[in-house]
Amino acid sequence: MKSIVWQLNKLKPKEKYVLEYLLTNSHTNPIGYYYLPEEYMTADLNLARTNVEEAINGLVEKGLIVYDYSASTVAIANYKNYFGFDMNSMSLDIFDTMPISGAFRKCFRWLSDCISGEKAIQIVHHEKVRESLMMEIDSTDSDEIYYTGFDMFWAVYPRKTGRDKALENYMKLVKINGVEQEDLVKAAVNYNFDYKDFIASRVLFLECADQFLEPERRLYSKYIDEIETRVCSREELDGVMEDCPF
């Protein structure tokens, strides 16, 4: 593996050392979110606890990781950039064994850019994924619950272009127009299935996410009630959405 960590000039030497460890230690996995107590780090790195905490806090401040001290979990931002994994080929077993922590939202934000199709739908519906996304929503950040909902929408939407504008339209729909967040996720799931069907017949004009969510066009609305049963039934999907963090 050719590491890019040592070229990150904004990091202090100790932060580079700890980040390289977080990327390569024996506890890591293909999504960069895993259980890692401080005791493991101090023993593996042969560093004092204060030095480890200083480096961890520096990486957190620079937006490279999230570390949940209460749950001893780490989430590495944009983990795929370091290794180039194909996220759609990974096993769902990773999510079966992952720890439950609010730090997962950091991981899921970048993961939503890297997954698609049925794999994305299966991940969004996974019990531990939903439980982690629901944890510790910051009540002081009134928009965090919407960002989490948008990440779920983005994960299952088949054409991942125009994220910033799509988020802007999403916010208008849920905060101003009163559209339910779970309905937008359902609509994206249904459009995902249509995308598969159109690919097979080669007649697809696939909408960018921002156009799909354009409030004036209301394209999303025609897909809200068309729940596809090939991956999950309407009852199962409705049950999933009832457990969502919004």
Q: Residue 43 — very low, low, confident or very high, per pLDDT cuts 50/70/90?
A: very high
In this prediction the pTM is 0.79
For 153-171, what is each residue's pLDDT tens digit? 999 998 888 899 999 999 9
Q: Residue 79 — very low, low, confident or very high, per pLDDT cuts 50/70/90?
A: confident
CB 192 within 8 A of CB 157: yes
Q: What percent of the chain has pLDDT over 70?
A: 82
Q: Classify 1-133 by CATH class.
A: mainly alpha
How many whole angstroms separate alpha carbon 130 and alpha carbon 15?
Answer: 31
Residue among 10, 44, 43 at smallest CA distance from 25: 44
Calculate mean pLDDT across residues 93-112: 87
CB 174 within 8 A of CB 184: yes
DSSP character string of 39-105: HHHHHHHT--HHHHHHHHHHHHHTTSEEEETTTTEEEETTTHHHH---GGGS-THHHHSPPP-TTHH
Inform me whether the pLDDT recorded for 84 exceeds 90. Answer: no
How many whole angstroms separate alpha carbon 82 and alpha carbon 1?
Answer: 9
Phi, psi at 33, each rounded to 5°: -135, 120
Angle value at C-alpha 189, between 184 and 191, nearest 5 degrees: 90
For 201-241, what is each residue's pLDDT tens digit? 444 568 889 999 999 999 899 888 765 434 444 444 444 45
Of 187 and 86, more confident = 187
CB 156 within 8 A of CB 121: yes
pLDDT of residue 137: 63
Output the six-digit token pair for 49. Answer: 């606890």
For 2-24, what is each residue's pLDDT tens digit? 567 777 778 899 999 999 999 99
Every domain range in the chain assigned CATH 1.10.10.10: 1-133
